[in-house]
Amino acid sequence: MEEKNNSCIILYPSPGIGHLIAMVELAKLVLCRYPDSFSEFIILMTTAPHLNTATTAPYTSHVSATTPSITFYHLPTTPLPSNYVASVEGLNFDLQSFNNPNVRQALETISSKAHVKAFVMDMFCSSASDVASAINIPTYYFFTSAAASLSILLYLPTLHQKNTTSFKDLNAFIQFPGIPPIFSSDMSNPLLDRNSMEYKYFMELAAQMAKSDGIIINTFHSLEPRAITAISDGLCTPNSPIPPIYCIGPLIAEKQTNSKENECLVWLNSQPSKSVIFLCFGSMGVFCEEQLEEIAVGLEKSGHRFLWVVKTPPPKECNESNTSILGLQGPDLSRLLPQGFLERTKGRGGCDASILIDSTQANSAEKEAVPNQTVRGYELIDEAKKNLEVACPSTVSCADIITMATRDSVALAGGPNYTVPTGRRDGLVSNEGDVNLPSPRFTVPQALRSFSDKGLTLNDMVTLLGAHTVGFAHCSFFRSRLSSSGRPDPTMDPALDATLSKLCGPADSNPRAFLDQNTSLVFDNQYYHQVMLNRGVLHIDQQLSLDKSSAPMVSNFAKNGAVFQQSFANAMVKMGSIQVVVGTDGEIRKNCRAFN
């Protein structure tokens, strides 16, 4: 590639911080790979009074300060007609079209001072392609979505010629090159009606892209081989040649250095791998209230954890002013989402008997997760359920059976006999990847975060860990603390270390050890005495007596068994109310090991 010689690339994103960031990252990529080829990357900025640009100015200032080769050229504000009415997509296309005189003036001004090697446009800026071509500047499109979406777009003119019916009325599957078929009514809203202005815009975009000097896609071949091959081979544009396709993804924006990590990322990092559904439809992706409610219902029924970016829907009547489409205030979630949705989905995963479900060839259930592999007693639940189904069919849920069986087991072992609410229903989801129990190797602050996510306090956590007084653990959960590992934990009593090292034996064996080495089969407060004597078997057990936040509670329970038992009863009732399924949600299983 030739030397700089005052050459530059002009990039033209549509409004919206997401589109702007994508263009900036493209500029950084080219700058990184060809540092001596271009003197400057100039980004044309559209100014629109009806858009919320609160995040734009700080971002551009940061980019200018950290990457001087990237500069921002602000186009004059273009007012919209007073009677203008359009959808979000229509507004994006029209705003850029209204800006064409300003774009031409900018291109001519910049061309008089530098050699413009390329003009790279966002897809919504397609109307500017003729402007650049008129002054002999090579034009490229930067398509920031998936190659599958590009396949649909480029094939649209061909489908238009084949059919005379709008997608909304076609009632058939549509075949696209390189991707699975899509049912006609599932096409995106702007494409449903062939007589709409939005449909016309996308038709023109597809034609313009096919005539450009190249299309840049934010993807890579290994991710979408069929779609990319179909586009490159011209299957999506059978009636015209296809320009070169450049797959340059994935472009990932640099992490901003903030003193405090975003709370969403903190939560996301605490979840099991591959267990969270992420829904985000871009900086200007909005849905009507009915669609938001449908999404919420689907998310709740899925049973999965999710991270959902919700935006205020446009008013049902969008003809008052241009601000009615964009620039909306933050959403009122309590009004927009189904009643009780936030409470029912908070924390995800609760007392719904999902642990009882057996795995199938199609699904690995919760009982397969490592923390659950020591759970026993499924047969007792099965027997109780069998008898209850005979006496009162489809009345008592497996979730209630677990709750009452736990209460009775505690009482039979010498613990408190407490009253538990009933009326739970059984959940409809059980996935191994959804299990997110605190690790036995956690510190107190780490464990507390897991308990806090479920609405439990530090006192609840210290109390509930007292159940280890009748618990056991496999050696694999604490072997690293033993002297036999070569790195003994200095906080463990040497006598306990010797006992456990002898019990656990070689590394390839994995026997079980009681967590209360004194009164192992009695539900009492001896567990707290043991950890105060440095005889906690698990790391988290011992940390309770060492951490200054939990140590006073351990001491209190060790001194007063009655206080512990009452606290335990309260905490169990509280825990048994986490994320329960009630009303018409879920089901009453006939067999606790399988969904109905």
Measured at the CA of 19, the angle between CA 175 and CA 32, to 5 degrees, comes to 105
Mapped onto helix, strand or coil, the DSSP state of residue 271 is coil
User: Could you tell me if 177 and 226 are in contact, meaning their C-beta atoms sit under 8 angstroms apart?
Assistant: no
Closest Cα partner for 575 from 428, 384, 418, 444? 418
Give the integer Cα–Cα distance in Å for 195 and 318: 20
Is 89 part of any known ligand binding site? no
Residue 364 is assigned to a ligand binding site? no
Q: Quickly count: other Cβ atoms within 10 Å of residue 376's Cβ.
A: 7
Residue with tokens 């396949």: 151
Q: Was 508 annotated as part of a binding site?
A: no
Contact, 430 vs 363, CB < 8 A? yes
d(CA 155, CA 326): 30
Given 94, 122, 400, 460, which residue is catalytic?
A: 122
354 is in an annotated binding site: yes
Query: Is 469 labelled a binding residue?
Result: yes
> Could you please report the per-residue DSSP string of 18-39?
HHHHHHHHHHHHHHHH-TTT-S
DSSP track, 121-189: EEGGGGGGHHHHHHTT--EEEEE-S-HHHHHHHHHHHHHHHH--S-HHHH-SEEEETTEEEEEGGGS-H
Q: Which two tokens stand for residue 440?
A: 């036995």
Q: CB of 564 within 8 A of CB of 463? A: yes
> Cα(363)–Cα(358) distance, rounded to whole angstroms?
9
Calculate helix-pair angle for 398-412, 561-575, nearest 10 degrees. Answer: 170
**Which listed residue (19, 426, 460, 529) is catalytic?**
19
122 tagged catalytic: yes
Which tokens go with 517? 């080495």
Q: Tell me whether residue 165 is annotated as binding.
A: no
- CA count, 13 A, side-chain hemisphere, 143: 26
Smallest Cα–Cα separation from 284: which of 595, 468, 515, 13? 13
The answer to whether the annotation marks 366 as part of a ligand binding site is: yes
Q: Which residues contact 116 (CB under 8 A, 6 or more apart)?
A: 7, 8, 9, 10, 107, 110, 137
Query: Is 358 an annotated catalytic residue?
Result: no
Q: What letter would DSSP give residue 320? A: S
Half-sphere CA count of 251, side-chain side, radius 13 A: 25
Cα 230 from Cα 232, distance rounded (Å): 6
| Calpha distance 403→356 (Å, rounded) | 13
| Helix intervals (H) in 415-493 | 444-453, 458-464
Give the orientation angle of helix 378-391 with respect to helix 398-412, to 10 degrees: 120
* Residue 516 assigned ligand-binding role: yes
Binding residues for substrate: 438
Binding residues for Ca(2+): 350, 352, 354, 366, 469, 516, 519, 524
Binding residues for heme b: 468
Binding residues: 350, 352, 354, 366, 438, 468-469, 516, 519, 524
What residues are annotated to the active site? 19, 122
